[in-house]
Structure 1
Amino acid sequence: MLTRPHHLTRPQRRAAPALLALLLALVPGCARHTGSDDLPDPPAVPGGSYTVALTEPDHLTPGRTTSSYALQVIQGLFDTPVSLDPADGHAVPLAAESVTSDDQRVWTLRLRPGGVFHNGEPVTARSFAAAWNAAAYGPNGWETNGYFTQIDGYAELNPADGAEPPTSELRGLDVVDDSTLRVTLGAPFSQFPMLLAFPAFAPLPAAAFADPAGYDRHPLGNGPFAMDGDWQHNQRIDLHRAAGYAGLRPPTADGVHFRIFTSKDTAFTELRAGHVDFMTNVPAARAYEAKRTFGRRYTVRPSGTMDYLGLPLWDARYARPELRRALSMAIDRRGITRAIFNEVFAPADSLVAPMIPGHRAGACGDTCAYRPDEAKALFDRAGGFTGTLELYFANSDPTYEQWMTAVANELKQNLGIRDIAFRKMSGADLGPILNGRKATGPYRQNWVVDYPSVQNYLAGLLGRDNRTGWSNAAFDDALTRGNAAATPAESIAQYHRAEDIALAELPLIPLWNWQDQTAWSSRVGNVTVDPYVAGLHLEKVTVRH
């Protein structure tokens, strides 16, 4: 997809991949709003601390989690090789000084000098290689394992038959010297620089392997903030300015306090009361209240986040695509987004969010339209459904249960499914059930975009070892061809072919596209929130003190 040779270096930010330059010009920018209606921004001088509302993460070791709750903390603790520019999403070197390739298959990362972990250990090329190997090694069971499929040798670390891998290291990682890591991919992949912005590609110190459980409670990163005490589960996570940090994101505030809530409604109430300074995802049901209360300190931004209804295809009751399409056509997406989300969310018409270059309006066609009569006829032809239909979702946001209730009522009314039960639990408990394919019914599947590409959704949601258990050789082939295509147009055409295959078989049902609602107190300013993995840029926030 790229003009070759490809180089990504800090002095030449415009030398981002040709694909990105063409595609990401279409991506909406981030929201950057400051201050309040009647107060100027806090001065941009060091000092002070602020509080962010958070849901309990599952892990704080970068390779062990893809949870947006965890990633909000991790991005303050770690510098990845590159970051995504908050304005348009193109890759910008961060811990790496440069990322270069002549053929899109062999990439060379040269690290910025002076990088250290929070315990003083130097950050070297081996620190990155060790972290990536640990995540890619199948028996470890790390959540981000699939992010390393592009690297040569991944298959050996993840034998298809579940056997013990013959090695624990990726063949494609070559530590040339302390500051140089050469990465060989299994095939050309022009979007590799964007992938390097995901926290799974952060480095890990020796302590991460000496005591994995202890490290997860108190991770030592290489980023602008360090842990201030251990993670207090279900209560708080405290960060302070990292001594010795010499990277590109020096923080303005002295500290960040994450307060952990089980309910986003409770978190919003605490924000209104002034006990919390920032909330990333205001409940959609509180949209009007938030706008009245916070004025200019409340924003609604286009988001790459989407909700789906994932389906357990290992259960024979969900095996027929016709039945899966019937479930989809029985759901009134527009009615739900109006009644529950105050039309902040928009009905999905694709597997991909509208803000992503290459999104096709209406790609899902009638399958994502509310057609209850057709749904019932299709449902009957597919043989109907027997037993209890169980719906799995987390308890972290009251809207999850509200929309699951609406979906349950529509499936009962439109398809005649009478026995529907809820399986509601914490996100930390739900994740292992879904990842282990232990769910016995449809589940809330959410995707937060890692980088602005159609490929990120398709590979992330439906690539190897996905939660649904679905696989399709033609889908995989289209993704592979898209990754290695010579031009952006050819690449997108192949990704569209893959999306069409997935929509025809429908292993998961697109529901709606989020728009992110954020609100903050008058104590903080210089607020920058982007739609990518970083979310709130912790290091930029100023505090009135």
Structure 2
Amino acid sequence: MRRTLAALAVGTLLLTGCSGGPSAEPGVLSVGVREPASLLPGRVADLPGRQITGALWTPLTELGAADQPPVPLAAESVTSPDRLVWTVVLRQGWRFHDGSPVTARSYVGAWEASMREGWPGARVLTEQLRVAGLRAVDERTIEVRLGRPLGEFPKALTSPALLPLPESVLASRDWDRFAERPIGNGPYRLTVPWVRDKGARVEPFAGFAGAVRPKARGVDFRVINDPADQFAQVSAGTLDLATEVPSVRHAAMQQQYADRHWNWPAPEATYLAFPLADKRFADPSVRHAISLAIDRSALATGPLGHQVTAAASFVPPALTGEAAPGSCRPCAHDAQAAGVLLRQGGTGLSTLTLYYEQEEAGQRGWVSRIAEQLRSGLALSEVLVRGLPGDEYRKALAGKSFDGPYVLRADAGYPSPQALLEPLLSGTGSDVDSMLGEAAAAPPAASPRYYRLAENTVLRDLPMTPLWSAHGHLYWSKALSGVVTDPLRGVLLDRIEVRARP
């Protein structure tokens, strides 16, 4: 059954009841998070960072209802005569938490800084949007010229990578200090600097110009890196909302918080890519054999501890709005068919080396499990796993110099298949490039057809096979109501109400 992206993004769960214990001051929401890598928008690269910056900033647009265009938030309008040059007009009266005005320069300067400094968020601008020019026309007007037409540009403005920065930090360029006490334009503001491994308190921003006012009197972000500690504290009534669940407590969470947990899809996916220049992998039959020999469900519930969703499509559900797309035949575990296809390939494949990035926590465990599955499912004599340092791994990715299948992670900077597929698949085939070009240039209502054609073509040729997509976990106390999520920002903290505790 098809579920729209908007339904996943804004579906509200209304709850009744009262808290099992005094976890915070009256009306103040306590949230457990891992330590974020950064709170500077352009550097944010993890879910904790997106959730915290999502409380401190308001994006230009947010996802609308099912099959509806994005809703302008900080933007008043987003228009284009040709889908190539876009004009963004800002709403009047918006200010940062320090009282300075939010202007077109706040956005253009932040985006230029991201590209100049090489922050992770720059990929949204350079690879996904293909920005060819930026201009602050006046105090409230931004002009963006793209390298090719893109009908989904208004949806891209939901991205946390495209948030504004105040003139003070654009002038000083003291990014590290700013990340300790970020100044946003959103519903909540920091009352004290962020303390590493401890967290910080935020309170409603009196000067917030948005239409939706925060419902809580404040949010107490508590850094709790151990998921088991988050689970224990919510169970004891000393924490309102947890964002991590330990793998061994996954079933207990579903039972204990039957109507108070939410598993929401994230726009990130992991693939096993093939070195197509290696003649051993030139035949698609060999690539399909390897894909069919992998038991994704066993990996998701085993070494990955229920923290991912086994792939059933090439594009993760967060980008399609489908809860269970099921379009990926090579994703179905079938060891018997895998053996037949390997023999059809006729390459005499008997040994393999799988590559992964050493710095990625926990990768060796599940890559080793894939190696075991391939060894037994394909009757190979040897399957090795080799981790490379980050710099070496990225160099091998850029040079396509692997001599065996390698792990490839991809994330969409905004909630659209285009944001994931175009950077990932560009150059893999003229047909795919053409379909993605048609999807980009088409009106948003027409683009899904081209995405499906591109996905079907990729699943036929299989230059890489999808393994799983990411998802987030939430579970909470009976004191909370109005818990909603967004594919990029995670839980929308300004929508949550904290009822009175006994």
TM-score of the aligned structures, taking structure 2 as reference length:
0.81
State the distance in 1 between where 2:151 and 2:87 align: 13
**Residue in 2 aligned with 1:492?**
448
State the distance in 1 between where 2:127 and 2:357 align: 31
The answer to whether 1:479 aligns with 2:436 is: yes
Identify the range of structure 1 (319-328 vs 60-69) with the bigger mean alpha-carbon deviation. 319-328
1:496 Cα deviation from its structure 2 partner: 2.6
State the distance in 2 between where 1:123 and 1:525 align: 32
Unaligned 5+ segments in structure 2 are none
Partner amino acid, structure 2, of 1:269: A
State the distance in 1 between where 2:432 and 2:98 align: 45
1:126 Cα deviation from its structure 2 partner: 0.9
State the distance in 1 between where 2:152 and 2:217 align: 35
Partner amino acid, structure 1, of 2:492: H
**Residue in 2 aligned with 1:215?**
178
1:127 Cα deviation from its structure 2 partner: 0.8
Question: Does structure 2 conserve the Cα–Cα contact (< 8 Å) formed by 1:340 and 1:403?
Answer: yes
Which of 406, 409, 417 is matched with 1:445 structurally?
A: 409
The answer to whether 1:389 aligns with 2:346 is: no
1:143 Cα deviation from its structure 2 partner: 1.0
TM-score of the aligned structures, taking structure 1 as reference length:
0.75
The answer to whether 1:202 aligns with 2:163 is: yes
Partner amino acid, structure 2, of 1:70: G
Question: Does structure 2 conserve the Cα–Cα contact (< 8 Å) formed by 1:252 and 1:542?
Answer: yes
Percentage of pairs with the same residue:
29
* SS at 2:31 equivalent: strand
State the distance in 2 between where 1:222 and 1:97 align: 15
Partner amino acid, structure 2, of 1:103: D
**Residue in 1 aligned with 2:495?**
540
Question: Does structure 2 conserve the Cα–Cα contact (< 8 Å) formed by 1:52 and 1:258?
Answer: yes
Partner amino acid, structure 2, of 1:445: R
Change (3 A) 1:118 1:462: farther
1:448-482: CA deviations, max 9, x gaps?
7832x33233136445xxxxxx7545433321111
* SS at 1:244 equivalent: coil
Which of 450, 454, 459 is matched with 1:503 structurally?
A: 459
Unaligned 5+ segments in structure 1 are 1-22, 155-169, 464-469
State the distance in 2 between where 1:231 and 1:310 align: 37
* SS at 1:72 equivalent: helix
**Residue in 2 aligned with 1:280?**
243
Change (3 A) 1:358 1:519: closer
State the distance in 1 between where 2:396 and 2:40 align: 22
Change (3 A) 1:71 1:319: farther
1:86 Cα deviation from its structure 2 partner: 6.8
Partner amino acid, structure 1, of 2:159: F
1:376-407: CA deviations, max 9, x gaps?
465574454757534448777x8x77755543
1:97-133: CA deviations, max 9, x gaps?
2222233223221111121122222110011111122
Residues 162-177 of structure 1: pairs in structure 2 closer than 5 A? 170-171=132-133, 173-177=134-138
Residues 240-279 of structure 1: pairs in structure 2 closer than 5 A? 240-279=203-242
State the distance in 2 between where 1:277 and 1:358 align: 29
State the distance in 1 between where 2:120 and 2:108 align: 17
Change (3 A) 1:58 1:345: closer
Question: Does structure 2 conserve the Cα–Cα contact (< 8 Å) formed by 1:150 and 1:187?
Answer: no
State the distance in 1 between where 2:409 and 2:7 align: 24
1:199 Cα deviation from its structure 2 partner: 1.1
The answer to whether 1:82 aligns with 2:82 is: no
**Residue in 2 aligned with 1:19?**
none
**Residue in 2 aligned with 1:190?**
151
Q: What is the number of residues matched between the two proteins? A: 484
* SS at 2:12 equivalent: strand
Residues 138-157 of structure 1: pairs in structure 2 closer than 5 A? 140-149=117-126, 154=131
* SS at 1:183 equivalent: strand
**Residue in 1 aligned with 2:333?**
370
Identify the range of structure 1 (26-35 vs 315-324) with the bigger mean alpha-carbon deviation. 315-324
Question: Does structure 2 conserve the Cα–Cα contact (< 8 Å) formed by 1:392 and 1:442?
Answer: no
Question: Does structure 1 conserve the Cα–Cα contact (< 8 Å) formed by 2:352 and 2:382?
Answer: no
Partner amino acid, structure 1, of 2:480: V
Change (3 A) 1:277 1:461: farther
Change (3 A) 1:435 1:198: farther
Question: Does structure 2 conserve the Cα–Cα contact (< 8 Å) formed by 1:41 and 1:525?
Answer: no
Which of 482, 486, 489 is matched with 1:526 structurally?
A: 482
State the distance in 2 between where 1:272 and 1:422 align: 40
* SS at 2:270 equivalent: strand
State the distance in 2 between where 1:152 and 1:28 align: 24
**Residue in 2 aligned with 1:309?**
271
Change (3 A) 1:300 1:26: closer
